[in-house]
Amino acid sequence: MGVNESLQRGRAAVRGKPFLFLAGVAGLVLLADLLARLAGVEVPITAERSFGGSLSALRFGGLVWNGIVVGLIFGLAGIGLSMTYSILNFANFSHGDLVTTGAFTGWGAALLIAGWGGSSAGHLLSVRAGSGAGPNAIGASVVQSPLAILVGVIVAAVATVLVTVAADRIVYKPMRDRGGIPLLIASIGVALALRYSIQFVYGARNRGVTATEGVGVPFYGVSIDLHEITLVIVAVGLMLGTHFLLQRTKLGKAMRAMADNKDLALVTGIPTERVVTATWVLGGALAGVSGYLYVLERGTIEFNLGWFLLLFIFAAVILGGIGSIYGAIAGGLVIGLVHEVSLIWISSDFNAAAAFVIMILVLLYRPEGLFGGVTTA
Amino acid sequence: MSAATDAGGDPAADGGDPAEGEEPATVTDAVVGALQESDLRIVGATMLAMYLLFLVLTVASEGIGPRTVNALVSTWVRLTFLFAAYSTLALALNLHWGYTGLFNIGVAGFMAMGVYGMALLSTSPDAVSGMGLGLPLPIGVVGGMTLAAVVGLLAALPALRLRADYLAIVTLGLSEIIRLTLNSATLSSWTVSTFGFGTGGGSGLDLPDTPTDALFAAGGPLDMTFPLVQTSVVRRAAWVVVMAVFVLLVYWLLRRVGNSPFGRVLKAIREDELVAQSLGKDTRWFKIKVFMLGCALMGLGGILWQGSQGFVSPNSFRPIVTFYVFVAVIVGGSGSNTGSIVGSILFVGLLFEGPRTIGSILGNALELGGSPGTFPAAVAPLGSLDPMPLLAYAVGNISAFRFILLGVVLVLLMQHRPEGVLGHRTETAAAVDLHRSGSGGETDE
């Protein structure tokens, strides 16, 4: 953090201002358009394009809800990525595959309990790798087997923690003092090894997992998906838990100190290695649970799932400012909302690209994140 | 070859840069030291080793018979094709990362820009899928490279201010945006109605024939049957020769760039950007120029590789392609052009094609019978001490092993030999080349 760097950043901010201005104008236009659409006002501009239009509040509400659901997944997974990024100083490209690890191990356990006796244990534990009982026959849903879903959450967390800590011991620990780039490259190696180990064990097929019977519940004219409700409750609960862990416990204080200033933390007598392990444990557990919950929401599972999420998680973390868990959560929600609400204007071919564009713009014009670079927790 | 396998588990090779003139500490170092005398010899020896390896593998899988020659030549042509493709891309990436320290992991996106730029200009307007302007191929190739360079410029203008890990995320995001855009059905039809050319969206894009194909057309000079090998193999080989020429051209170009005053500034930026700035070099402008040049070469690599197969779809440009090229550069050692080529050869031979060939040989040789469909079905017989189903399953899923191997190699290289198999060969940023007199012009950039 030299004078030069802050000078450069200042200059960059000045240079970036015209673009920020443009982005602000574009945002206002979109907002006005959205309001016009909701009000049902349409002002034709050209033959094909018009300002405003019609958009039912129901569809808009549905998109916002979807955005929040997906955003919570991004945010939950992002907490771990953000913490390892700030404490260990490298972008962990294997984080997405930790998400996948949690999804498969957790659902293996959940299916085993939900479908106990009805199908072979191998079929259930491998999350329906081959042909056999279908998802509705197994009946893994909050309605039919809440206990199985709960156990799945715990197994997802524990199994992912084991994988994460093993990866740290084997791969990252011997290279602790290397720069960010060698660690980044090593994490790409871990990502590949992990992803294809999962493919080897669980197979490459994309398949359904959750039972759908009785999950959609009518509620004042809208259908509410109990799985999404479960996701929101568990995710928010875990986020609150993380908040209290970081703010109220000694371990949390040590983690924040490490993220803030590693040397100072060392001098103060904080056992840095133990804090690093705790970071991996926390980050891994949250990543695993987020993968499990993601499958709960979308109903299908495949070995590429976490890798496809990785860029979104990065986007969330960058948007909120690396190192800040609240930033990661808020960034996740923003990216989730952009991903879903942008469907009003653009086709579903581009909504993922829109989220990435937001990430790139933030990296370029506000690399410290939307919330002003609070690097502590 | 031995260097690659030794390097992984060799703890003595761990640690910082070995000092100049130090006694070779390990066998690996001694072997490498002896080989380092001539870059050409290293490349030649590596290629020869790979050809021999695949000679053995092909004979092992095909047996000796009348069709062996064709199978062998076909294998060698495929190998050389991949050598050349990865070498071009690795050289371009090395210009970014090895020379200038720009951590670009959007290689696949820039390749896609090159190929699609070429195709939109040169594919005939009445192609089955997609639509181009039907211009002559050289215009298409130059246009594709220019498009890749322009996209590189757009990315570079703001992004080069960023820290290396941010640049990595931006370029990865950009390459995904490019792929998703090319995949889009909306854009495909919109471009046709607006510009008169179309990307074909997810169903892909037909590409013009390679120029060498004209030699084999009816009435062409090579329109005949060849003894022992099929015409399709010779046809492929002719294109591979063209690619090899391009690799040499790129290599020559990068050597010129590297030894020029321009290249010295690049190396200075890699070593310490602040110092380069203090010496009055506008490092940002240098970085933009080199980023554009590298992107254009990545576009060229894409055209030579994916652009030569008659058809292309956005799925050919997944981020994994970028990681392949990265592994090639890392294996060879970033910062060295020769290393990039050697790394590409080793990557293709040992990590990419090797495991697959060995897997199919094992599958045939062991007569494993039907592979169980799932992992539980493969593991269950272990209870009754029958490992064969697991083995059959493993051989049947050898492609997964290939990726696991890739990941493990990447980790081991980063842990034990981050400077690559050829050792520390990063070219110095010194103004005067100590090995040669009077190299490089003295004109300032």
Query: Which chain B residues have a beta carbon less than 8 Å from that of A122?
Result: 374, 376-377, 379-380
- Residue from the list A182, A184, A365 with its beta carbon closest to the beta carbon of B418: A182
Give the model's pLDDT for residue A52.
Answer: 66
Give the model's pLDDT for residue A134.
Answer: 79
* A295/A292 Cα distance (integer angstroms): 5
* A185/A191 Cα distance (integer angstroms): 10
* B336/B95 Cα distance (integer angstroms): 9
Contact A297, A228 (CB under 8 A): yes
Using the structure block, give the residue that is written with the tokens 């945006």. Answer: B177
Count CB atoms within 10 A of the CB of residue A217: 12
DSSP state of B367: T
Find all residues with CB under 8 Å of A5, minimum gap 6, and list them. none
Decide if B414 and A199 are in contact by the 8 Å CB cutoff: no
Instruction: Return the C-alpha torsion angle A78, A366, A348, A67, nearest 10.
Output: 50
Contact A49, A66 (CB under 8 A): no
Contact A297, A73 (CB under 8 A): yes
Find all residues with CB under 8 Å of B362, minimum gap 6, and list them. B395
pLDDT digits (tens, 9 = 90+) for A248-276: 888 888 888 887 777 888 888 888 888 88
Give the model's pLDDT for residue A192.
Answer: 92
B140 token code pair:
């298409």
Give the model's pLDDT for residue B360.
Answer: 78
pLDDT digits (tens, 9 = 90+) for B329-360: 988 887 788 888 989 999 998 888 888 888 87
* B416/B418 Cα distance (integer angstroms): 6
Give the model's pLDDT for residue B6.
Answer: 40
B290 token code pair:
């080199």
Contact B397/A at CB under 8 A: yes
Distance of CA A53 to the CA centre of its chain: 33
pLDDT digits (tens, 9 = 90+) for A9-57: 656 655 556 666 777 788 888 888 888 887 777 777 765 666 666 777 7
Give the model's pLDDT for residue A169.
Answer: 92
Decide if A91 and B180 are in contact by the 8 Å CB cutoff: no
Q: How far is B8 from chain A (nearest CA, A)?
A: 13
Question: Phi and psi for A301 in degrees, rounded to 5?
Answer: -140, 145
Question: Phi and psi for B173 in degrees, rounded to 5?
Answer: -60, -40
Q: How confident is the model at residue A372 (pLDDT cuts 50, 70, 90)?
A: low
- pLDDT at residue B15 is higher than 50: no
Q: How confident is the model at residue A7 (pLDDT cuts 50, 70, 90)?
A: low
Contact A89, A261 (CB under 8 A): no
Q: Give DSSP secondary structure letters for B146-202.
A: HHHHHHHHHHHHHHTTS-HHHHHHHHHHHHHHHHHHHH-HHHHHHHHHHHS-B--GG
186-225 of B, contacting A, C-beta below 8 A: 186-187
- Residue from the list B159, B186, B410 with its beta carbon closest to the beta carbon of A189: B410
Give the model's pLDDT for residue A18.
Answer: 66
Nearest CA in chain A to B11: A174
* B384/A207 Cα distance (integer angstroms): 30
Nearest to B92 by CA among B344, B439, B410: B344
Q: How far is A107 from chain B (nearest CA, A)?
A: 15
- pLDDT at residue B2 is higher than 50: no
Angle at CA of residue A298, ends A360 and B403, nearest 5°: 65
DSSP state of B131: B
121-160 of B, contacting A, C-beta below 8 A: 158-159
Find all residues with CB under 8 Å of A140, minimum gap 6, and list them. A107, A110, A111, A114, A115, A148, A149, A152, A209, A210, A211
Contact A185/B at CB under 8 A: yes
Decide if B184 and A349 are in contact by the 8 Å CB cutoff: yes
ipTM higher than threshold 0.90: no
Query: Which chain A residues have a beta carbon less than 8 Å from that of B177?
Result: 353, 356-357
Burial of B384 (0-12, 13-18, 19+ CB in 10 A): exposed
CATH pick for B2-11+31-366+397-416 out of 2.60.120, 1.10.1070, 3.30.360, 1.10.3470: 1.10.3470
Ranges assigned E (strand) in chain A:
42-44, 50-52, 207-208, 216-219, 222-225, 300-301
By residue count, chain B amounts to 445
Question: Phi and psi for A149 in degrees, rounded to 5?
Answer: -65, -40
* A102/A95 Cα distance (integer angstroms): 11
Give the model's pLDDT for residue A12.
Answer: 60
Q: How confident is the model at residue B16 (pLDDT cuts 50, 70, 90)?
A: very low
Q: How far is A141 from chain B (nearest CA, A)?
A: 24
Query: Which chain B residues have a beta carbon less than 8 Å from that of A120?
Result: 376
Give the model's pLDDT for residue A373.
Answer: 52
Identify which has the larger pLDDT, A31 or B227. Answer: A31
Domain A56-365: which topology?
ABC transporter involved in vitamin B12 uptake, BtuC (1.10.3470)
Ranges assigned E (strand) in B78-214:
205-206
Decide if B184 and A356 are in contact by the 8 Å CB cutoff: no
3-state secondary structure of A362: helix
Best mutation target, B100, B187, B325, B414, to test chain A (most A CBs within 10 A): B414
Contact A10/B at CB under 8 A: no
* A256/A262 Cα distance (integer angstroms): 10
Nearest to B205 by CA among B82, B317, B105: B317
Q: How confident is the model at residue A106 (pLDDT cuts 50, 70, 90)?
A: very high
pLDDT digits (tens, 9 = 90+) for A112-122: 888 887 777 77
Query: Which chain A residues have a beta carbon less than 8 Å from that of B408?
Result: 189, 193
Give the model's pLDDT for residue A57.
Answer: 76
Give the model's pLDDT for residue A220.
Answer: 78
Q: How far is A248 from chain B (nearest CA, A)?
A: 32
Decide if A360 and B186 are in contact by the 8 Å CB cutoff: no
Contact B172/A at CB under 8 A: yes
Angle between the B107-122 and B68-94 helix axes, to the nearest 10 degrees?
A: 110
- pLDDT at residue B148 is higher than 90: yes
Least confident of A155-164, B163-172, B386-395: B386-395
Burial of B360 (0-12, 13-18, 19+ CB in 10 A): middle
Using the structure block, give the residue that is written with the tokens 């909120």. Answer: A320
DSSP state of B198: B
Contact A180/B at CB under 8 A: yes
Q: How confident is the model at residue B30 (pLDDT cuts 50, 70, 90)?
A: low
Nearest to A87 by CA among A244, A282, A250, A269: A282
Question: Phi and psi for A222 in degrees, rounded to 5?
Answer: -110, 150
**Alpha helices for B208-282 (secondary structure H):** 213-216, 231-259, 261-271, 273-278
Decide if B177 and A202 are in contact by the 8 Å CB cutoff: no
Decide if B377 and A122 are in contact by the 8 Å CB cutoff: yes
Count CB atoms within 10 A of the CB of residue A281: 18
pLDDT digits (tens, 9 = 90+) for A219-251: 777 778 888 888 999 999 999 999 999 888 888
Tell me the average pLDDT across A60-70.
89
Give the model's pLDDT for residue B13.
Answer: 39
Give the model's pLDDT for residue A90.
Answer: 86
- Residue from the list B161, B165, B403 with its beta carbon closest to the beta carbon of A90: B165
pTM exceeding the 0.95 threshold for the entire prediction: no
Domain boundaries, chain A: 1-55, 56-365
Query: Which chain A residues have a beta carbon less than 8 Å from that of B373?
Result: 129-131
How many CA atoms lie less than 13 Å away from B49 in the CB half-sphere? 18
Query: Which chain B residues have a beta carbon less than 8 Å from that of A182?
Result: 414, 418
Count CB atoms within 10 A of the CB of residue B342: 30
330-389 of B, contacting A, C-beta below 8 A: 330, 373-377, 379-380
Q: How confident is the model at residue B18 (pLDDT cuts 50, 70, 90)?
A: very low
Residue B409 gets the label, from left (phi > 0), alpha (psi -120 to 50) or beta, of alpha
Decide if A186 and B415 are in contact by the 8 Å CB cutoff: yes
Tell me the average pLDDT across B151-175.
82
3-state secondary structure of B386: coil
Q: How confident is the model at residue A187 (pLDDT cuts 50, 70, 90)?
A: very high
Q: What is the CA radius of gyration of chain A?
A: 22
